[in-house]
A = this chain, B = another copy of it.
């Protein structure tokens, strides 16, 4: 029952995030605009916008971009292989795995994503306080590792979940 547990309802466990149509649409749109590894600020912004369409957290946006980038890449690679063994396709190609990707737009501008980032959060083992803090908890700290001089290293961090 209750198959429509899309977002933050009470009954729907849904251990993993499931993007709504709108969310996915916006994400893909951003991806095609060239965003590959969004910065923290970008992710925060995106997340906020997507929260209008349902429950979502920063890490979902993060993972989505990671996976999408990787899988677009391997899709293209597979297409190249298919291109190699082109011609002479045998009989029933209708039952081929649904890998009918139409990569007309090679959104592969390999450069231009000089976005450096890093990640770092932890699950604890299963049994922890079962309270119910539902929403997203943002935790932004100004800077943390190197309050030293300024050896040009990039150190500012910003956490969010």
Contacts and interface: CB of A to CB of B under 8 A. Distances in A.
A132 to B, nearest CB: 4
B147 A157 contact: no
Interface in A127-161: 128-134, 136-137, 139, 141-161
Given A15-B155, A128-B156, A161-B141, A10 B148 contact: yes
A141 to B, nearest CB: 5
A159 B139 contact: yes
Contacts of A134: 147
Interface residues of A, number: 61
24 contacts: A11-B149, A13-B151, A13-B153, A14-B151, A15-B151, A39-B123, A116-B123, A117-B123, A118-B119, A119-B119, A120-B120, A121-B159, A122-B157, A123-B155, A123-B157, A126-B156, A128-B158, A131-B142, A131-B147, A133-B142, A136-B144, A137-B144, A139-B159, A159-B159
Interface of A: 8-17, 39-41, 43, 57-59, 62, 115-126, 128-134, 136-137, 139, 141-161
